Chain A
């Protein structure tokens, strides 16, 4: 047997409507409702799996997803170079908008865009909670 994929088996990677509904509900009720401007669940290829945002959000989510996947990959590679499995906190602070990245599992990453209404400490707790829930949903799906 060759170690290579012979074909691209898409179904392995399709999430059901049920799971996506659940995930999007969680993103909305736990993050957007707490003042997060936009949250994306993406894979490391840069695909958007699920998203939640408030009505005013005008963010270019496709570019943000592509850049975040690449950036996260680059930071992970840097961690390996200095002998670390990963860096714990990935956070970029801006004047009015900030970004927070959190790894869900080997496939998924959460990006949160938030402003001054919510503190980083509270946000981290909420995201950790959401990550936990998504992990459980993801498991039951695959």
Chain B
């Protein structure tokens, strides 16, 4: 469980964060929420799809990292073997929170934000890593960079949400039917993933296509369509794992 603590230059002057260890937060994720601004970078390696939030039923964009629960096929030798690390993992262990009256930090509110970190994170180290503040109490370039990432996530959330609303309004989503049989004969059905309905996409009127283009969505939609091909590279990764496991028996 995460324990969020708001960041203070006096209290946390000695605090060290190891960016490599922050990747542990992604070790057991089979999917990670992603922002519209990342789509083009993600599409070269991950399937980008949508899934519903279990609590609200609302759609969110995600990059798929594995098939089974807790299966991250990019997690190799205690690190993420990716060309690009999704912002939601890269941002660890930092969060935006809001200081309420009692001084407890509360995340996910559009009030005044303060930067928090997860005090239980593996990335909090006593030696090495990155300092957050200089001895004069000023923010280090590392912290500045991480704050920029948090700002990008905050802004990206709204933009990504509007994008998803547009897809829904145009009826462009369809559920993904995935029945995968791996090299060892084991098969798996992947439920609850959604993607672009290519038939509907191709049938859009010229006006709608122009609208999507003007809103900057068209490239992202096609990035999603292309990225679904990455499912095959995920299957390959899984097969490689299964055969490695078989050899070790």
The yes or no verdict on A and B being binding partners is: no
Binding site for B on A (CB under 8 A): none
